[in-house]
Chain A
Amino acid sequence: MRSFSWRRGRWFGTVLLTLALTGLLALANWWLPLAITDFAGGRRVVGLGTIWETFFARLPPAAPGILGRAPLLAGLVVALFALAYIIVATLRLPE
């Protein structure tokens, strides 16, 4: 039986906290309202989800595959995880 390792325990804690923060960021990225400035310079408040939906609905058709809906959606999930990891891992850096 392997003995408990503080280093493995620390890594596990970082992963759990990162996943939790990723969930929070994903919720915020969908539900948070934001005051936007549109093309004509007008101001209004919309949900972040609306901004992302509009972005994905109007992606430039001439763009290469990596700028398609599926890769960018997958990328967004990875990016949220990466941002959460940056914050959690920075807080939990060894002294």
Chain B
Amino acid sequence: MALAERTEQQDRRAREHVTALPAVTLAPARVWPRLRLSARGAIIAALLVFTLVKQLVLVAAYPPFQGHDEVGHYGNLWTMEHFGRLPTLSDNMPVVLDPYSMYTLDWPAVYTANHPPLYYLLTYRIMRAAGSDAPEDLLPRLYALRLASILPFLLAIWLTYLLARVLFPRDTFLTLTAPAAIAFGPQLSFEGAIINNDILSILWGALILYLCAAALRRGLPPWRALALGVALGTGLLVKATLTVFLPLAALVAIWVRWPRPWGAIRTRAYWRGTLGAAAAMIVPALAIPAPWYAYLHRTYGDFSAFTAIQNLQAAWNVPAGTFGELLLSKEFHLERIRESVGYYGWKLIPLTVWQERLVHGAIILCGVGLVIGLGRVAWGWRAGRRPETVQVAGVVLLLLAALAMYAATIYFGTMFLLTQARYFFPIAGAGAILGLLGVRALLPDRWQRPAAALTIAAFAAFNLWLMLGSVLPYAFF
């Protein structure tokens, strides 16, 4: 209770400095207070406006169907339109996509048919509204579907801001630079401008992490447990890789509902609250995705359709290596870094040597900062200066999420040659906060604001350097 009161006071202090949007200064007295933005909120609003325009440019700039699996995802939607059902791996792509067949893996099969259906259900109406299935409407449909990816990207940026704010409410540097890292992440921006379900998995990853962090900070009443359960359940309808969040959310729930003091375990109120929260979380997390995974099992004989995919790709697909081999392979990790920052789709736009060196330098800086920060915390702990428990638990949560998702990416490589960095993009927000926590550890408190401005400017410059120096010239020169 004391912690909740303290948090409310912190939130009130953070809201003290408010700024007005000129367009709403005449809003009625009741509406006005709800529309006021904190000073940091106004900066995030400006970041979202900038990102919206940047995404529009990317949507228009990138050549049709050259985003990774754009053809495949359109094939899913086309099958739903023509046969009134979800596609299977036995279905074929429409002939109209033949000119883009080089941007697929297993032409003419709809090789994305094993992807969960939520992305397709959400975008189906948008595709239909953009035109008919006539060949001349193919490109208007493509651009409409690409535009639809922008909104989830903007929401992911906003949720990263909320995630950073709920864990570090008084830290200006982290709350501003973490969402900027997402907004200016070149490959993340690309996901937010092409037809793909990865952008939804990035959004859902940010949402689940935010709800977990909010539970750590403010507790797990039944309504928040329900929200977390619905997010987990619908997440499994976005992409199977989000399964990684199930054990993490369970750990958070156990930590938050752990009886403190231990004697609380003997009270009826503790069990009523805990069992209510558990039911509110577990039931939707299992019930929402159950029909889809039952469908997969009925159609392919397992819950992932991996065996069917392996059979489909038997001619070219081999495991990239064993888990140990991939874990110890320097080239494997370097390739994931390249894919995280550049490449854009079918690896047609590589980074230059200098761009790679800059990225490596930034990663090393973050790593060194994290080690120094960890040492400083340990030293302070010995001297009796204990950090806030919620922040320690939150950082451990982000670290576990990042490690689990990266391990899942390696594991995928033990079955498929083409494991890729985008499989761990759902923890992009966690990665951004952890990396920037390293930079933050190197900064004195009084340098927070100039360092934040400099970091955001550096992110923007790097993103625009790639967009103007590589992406636009690739498409138009």
A residues neighboring B (CB under 8 Å): 11, 34-39, 48, 51, 54-55, 58-60, 62-64, 66-67, 71-72, 75-76, 78-79, 82-83, 85-87, 89-94
- Say yes or no: B17 contacts A60, CB within 8 Å: no
A and B contact pairs by CB, cutoff 8 A, 30 listed:
A11-B19, A34-B465, A36-B469, A54-B472, A54-B477, A55-B57, A58-B476, A60-B64, A63-B60, A63-B139, A64-B140, A64-B143, A67-B60, A67-B143, A72-B60, A75-B52, A75-B53, A76-B53, A79-B54, A82-B50, A85-B43, A86-B43, A86-B456, A87-B453, A89-B42, A90-B452, A90-B456, A93-B17, A93-B39, A93-B449
B224 within 8 A of A: no
B361 contacts the other chain (Cβ, under 8 Å)?
A: no
Bound state CA distance, A59 and B61, in angstroms?
7
Q: For the A-B complex with A62-B140, A78-B49, A89-B43 known, give 11 more contacts whose Cβ atoms are closer than 8 Å.
A: A39-B475, A54-B476, A59-B60, A62-B139, A63-B143, A79-B54, A82-B53, A83-B46, A83-B50, A86-B50, A90-B449
CB of B352 closer than 8 Å to a CB of A: yes
Most buried by A among B47, B61, B475, B477: B477
A94–B170 CA distance with the chains assembled, in angstroms: 12
Shortest CB distance B13–A (Å): 11
Does more than half of chain B's interface fall in helix, strand or loop, or is it mixed? Answer: helix
> Contact residues of B with A, CB < 8 Å?
17, 19, 39-40, 42-43, 46-47, 49-50, 52-54, 56-57, 59-61, 64, 130, 139-140, 142-144, 147, 172, 176, 180, 349, 352, 449-450, 452-453, 456-457, 460, 465, 468-470, 472-477
From A11, A54, A62, residue with most partner B Cβ within 10 Å: A62
Return B120 CB to nearest CB of chain A, in Å. 21
> Are A89 and B349 CB-contacts (below 8 A) given A55-B61, A60-B60, A67-B56?
no
Contacts A37-B469, A38-B473, A55-B472 hold; do A86 and B172 have CB atoms under 8 A apart?
Answer: no
Query: CA–CA, A35 to B130, complex, Å?
Result: 37
Measured in the bound complex, the distance between the Cα atoms of B52 and A71 in whole Å is: 12
Let me know if B176 and A83 touch, CB within 8 A. Answer: no
CB B175 to nearest CB in A, in angstroms, measures: 10
Q: How far is the CA of A79 from the CA of B449 in the complex (A)?
A: 22
Check A38–B477 contact: CB distance below 8 A. yes
B466 to chain A, nearest CB (A): 10
Docked complex Cα distance between A85 and B44 (Å): 10
**Residues in B neighbouring A79, C-beta threshold 8 A:** 49-50, 53-54
Contact between chains at A78 and B473 (CB < 8 Å): no
B469 and A60 contacting across the interface, CB-CB below 8 Å:
no
A76 partner residues in chain B, CB cutoff 8 A: 53, 57
A90 with B176: CB separation less than 8 A: yes
Q: Given A51-B468, A62-B139, are A91 and B50 also a contact pair (CB < 8 Å)?
A: no
**Contact call A90/B349, Cβ cutoff below 8 A:** no
Tell me the minimal C-beta distance from B442 to chain A in angstroms.
18
Chain B residue contacts of A63, Cβ below 8 A: 59-60, 139-140, 143
- Measured between alpha carbons, how far is A72 from B53 in the docked complex, in Å? 7
Q: In the complex, A37 Cα to B351 Cα: how many Å?
A: 10
How far apart are A77's CB and chain B's nearest CB, in angstroms?
9
By a CB distance below 8 angstroms, the chain B residues around A64 are 130, 140, 143-144, 147
| A60 to B349 alpha-carbon distance, docked (Å) | 20
Contact B46 A82 (CB under 8 A): yes
Question: Do residues B46 and A89 form an inter-chain contact, with CB atoms below 8 A?
Answer: yes
Bound CA–CA A35/B355 (angstroms): 12
Please state if A87 and B457 are interface contacts (CB–CB under 8 Å).
yes
Bound Cα distance A34, B172 (Å): 33
Can you name the residue of chain B whose Cβ is closest to the Cβ of A75?
B53
The complex places the Cα of A79 from the Cα of B464 at a distance, in Å, of 12
A72 to chain B, nearest CB (A): 6
* Alpha-carbon distance between A78 and B39 when the two chains are bound, in angstroms: 19
B462 CB to nearest chain A CB (Å):
13
What residues of chain A lie closer than 8 Å to B470, measured between beta carbons?
A: 36-37
